[in-house]
Chains A and B, each alone.
Chain A
């Protein structure tokens, strides 16, 4: 029964991707020229740096904003919790283009942020907040926040109530219970969220392409440029392979420590 899905993915996904990535080594005969060029490329190093730096910052921002939110959600009554989680999940499906269009409006020189800061005297002339790291971090966090919140909520919800009762029974004050029971037990959830957000951030294309500046060029953009403008599939595949290796490395570390079942959003046991 599981066969159709497996065959489908193997044939239509694994095969094409594998074919594409192999093109970095076989163009058409075996060659290392693409990787040699990659190793010498200053631009590539900078772009990898950009990609990792931006992904890490987004992960941190999502964690800082998402953790308190996740905690608050677990303390809601079931109805409100369900509603909030729903709002969160639905926001995932707001198209990237809709969001970026909104950011272009909000962050531009004549936009809302500029006008607001001017009004409150925080800046002395209208300013643009577009085409820079701030805009990209903001926009990407906006997309990935739900992916941080939901695993943390799942982890907090699966904390055994008897542990809390036991702690309270032994006279621990609320803050201590939080610190010593809830927080440590929520860490796997936080780790899941971080890994998910980081991995998803690594592969981003649309957001940095539309509202990023030259300091926010990410690897996916290089792949697209190589294929669409330079016609160089082999070199694009070299970019892609590097990105993939990076992603899989992080994923492997996570899996070893926590197990990949945790990534099945919410259905953890």
Chain B
């Protein structure tokens, strides 16, 4: 009676203890066997995949240090980490004006220029704290199958004209880029956009509000919506369109006119666990060959003109440093957004909810 119960129970307890111990060991073993790993925080998705091939793997081959890529890029999280003195990232992607914010708030360290070679980079693609590793853009995407060339908007004025160019539209649920598009649609010349006249921009947005079927939030949405027919024209980060086009998806077309030319930067956070290796990784990211490889994955490239020459022709058609594309775009003013982002966001929130 009691003894057999006790035996059964002991067996059960032993088995459980064994299982728990195994699980714990299973987690410990990899930690012991691992070589050094640094963390690169990036926007994720296609960017992370391209980054692994272009930066992560070569870096590991060269230095033996593994690169772990995490997502998404959020300056808010960076600030929280730096303030708590508990920084998880060694290299942080900083998108557009967020990189200015990071510098102003003292969140990233000065670049080690002895390690990172900035001599070949164009002046608009580096500063004392960070380098551009990806020139990207917000451009207009459309579904080629549904709209022949004549029936699609070729600039933002036409996008705003729902009567002449019927079709379901999408825009991002965010003031960034939309304010500029609104002004372009209202006839403001590209060189007069900044400083942005908020009243004028929102009045222009009022005209398009009812015609926007979807206000997208996530990087993957624009392309997905074009493919499944949810919308016919949309703004979007062109790298996502590019990735699909390279994968053989012929239905997505991109209109570059009036697109916003933007920059994605990398820097080393203050208090990063492995600043030395972090600088080395950044140095690699602006090497022409590596940058070109990254561009082959997502069409975003660094500011070294030499990188452009390494690109296959079909990729050249998608890279925004291509002169024929760059000339049609508007360079986003990171300083204006640094000063006005909160005000614009507040106004946007009020506008979008009503």
Nearest-neighbor residue (CB-CB) of B101 within chain A: A231
* Contact status B350-A43, CB under 8 Å: yes
- A154: shortest Cβ distance to chain B, in Å? 34
B342 within 8 A of A: yes
* Contact status A47-B230, CB under 8 Å: no
A128 within 8 A of B: yes
A230 within 8 A of B: yes
Contacts of B75 in A (CB 8 A): 231
Contacts of B228 in A (CB 8 A): 108-110
* Contact status B342-A230, CB under 8 Å: yes
CB-CB contacts of B193-230 with A at 8 A, as 1s and 0s?
Answer: 00000000000000000000111010000000000111
- A102: shortest Cβ distance to chain B, in Å? 14
A142 within 8 A of B: no
* Contact status B173-A214, CB under 8 Å: yes
B100 within 8 A of A: no
> What is the interface of chain A mostly: helix, strand, loop, or mixed?
loop
* Contact status B214-A43, CB under 8 Å: no
Contacts of B213 in A (CB 8 A): 128, 131
Do A47 and B353 form a contact, CB below 8 Å, given A130-B230, A230-B342, A230-B345? Answer: yes
B14 within 8 A of A: no
Roughly how many angstroms separate A253 CA and B74 CA in the complex, as a whole number? Answer: 41
In-complex Cβ contact of B214 among A126, A213, A229, A231 (8 A)? A213
Nearest-neighbor residue (CB-CB) of B217 within chain A: A209
B188 within 8 A of A: no
Contacts of A126 in B (CB 8 A): 229
Chain A 129-154 residues near chain B, CB threshold 8 A? 130-131
* Contact status A109-B229, CB under 8 Å: yes
B76 within 8 A of A: yes
A54 within 8 A of B: no
B4 within 8 A of A: no
Contacts of B354 in A (CB 8 A): 42-43, 46
Nearest-neighbor residue (CB-CB) of B76 within chain A: A231
Do A110 and B229 form a contact, CB below 8 Å, given A43-B354, A47-B353, A214-B353? Answer: yes
Do A228 and B76 form a contact, CB below 8 Å, given A109-B230, A131-B213? Answer: yes
Chain A 30-89 residues near chain B, CB threshold 8 A? 41-43, 46-47, 50
- The number of inter-chain residue pairs (CB within 8 angstroms) is 55
* Contact status B230-A108, CB under 8 Å: yes
Candidate in A50, A108, A214 with the most chain B CB atoms within 10 angstroms: A214
B349 within 8 A of A: yes
Nearest-neighbor residue (CB-CB) of B212 within chain A: A214
Contacts of B342 in A (CB 8 A): 230
Do A227 and B173 form a contact, CB below 8 Å, given A126-B229, A131-B214? Answer: no
In-complex Cβ contact of A46 among B80, B214, B215, B353 (8 A)? B353
Contacts of A110 in B (CB 8 A): 228-229
Candidate in B79, B214, B342 with the most chain A CB atoms within 10 angstroms: B214
Roughly how many angstroms separate A209 CA and B173 CA in the complex, as a whole number? Answer: 12
Nearest-neighbor residue (CB-CB) of A232 within chain B: B342
A21 within 8 A of B: no
Roughly how many angstroms separate A68 CA and B213 CA in the complex, as a whole number? Answer: 36
A217 within 8 A of B: yes
Roughly how many angstroms separate A108 CA and B228 CA in the complex, as a whole number? Answer: 8
Nearest-neighbor residue (CB-CB) of A37 within chain B: B346
* Contact status B352-A214, CB under 8 Å: yes
Roughly how many angstroms separate A229 CA and B101 CA in the complex, as a whole number? Answer: 12
* Contact status A230-B76, CB under 8 Å: yes
* Contact status A43-B353, CB under 8 Å: yes
* Contact status A213-B215, CB under 8 Å: yes
* Contact status A41-B350, CB under 8 Å: yes
Chain B 160-177 residues near chain A, CB threshold 8 A? 168, 173
- A51: shortest Cβ distance to chain B, in Å? 11
- B252: shortest Cβ distance to chain A, in Å? 15
* Contact status B345-A228, CB under 8 Å: no
Contacts of A130 in B (CB 8 A): 214, 230
Q: List 17 A-B contacts (CB under 8 A).
A: A42-B350, A42-B354, A43-B350, A46-B354, A108-B230, A109-B228, A109-B229, A109-B230, A110-B229, A130-B214, A131-B214, A213-B214, A214-B173, A217-B353, A228-B74, A228-B77, A230-B345
By Cβ-Cβ distance, the 5 closest A-B pairs, closest first, are A46-B353, A43-B349, A43-B353, A43-B350, A109-B229
Beyond A109-B229, A228-B74, A230-B345, 6 additional contacts (C-beta under 8 Å) are A46-B353, A46-B354, A108-B229, A108-B230, A128-B168, A217-B352
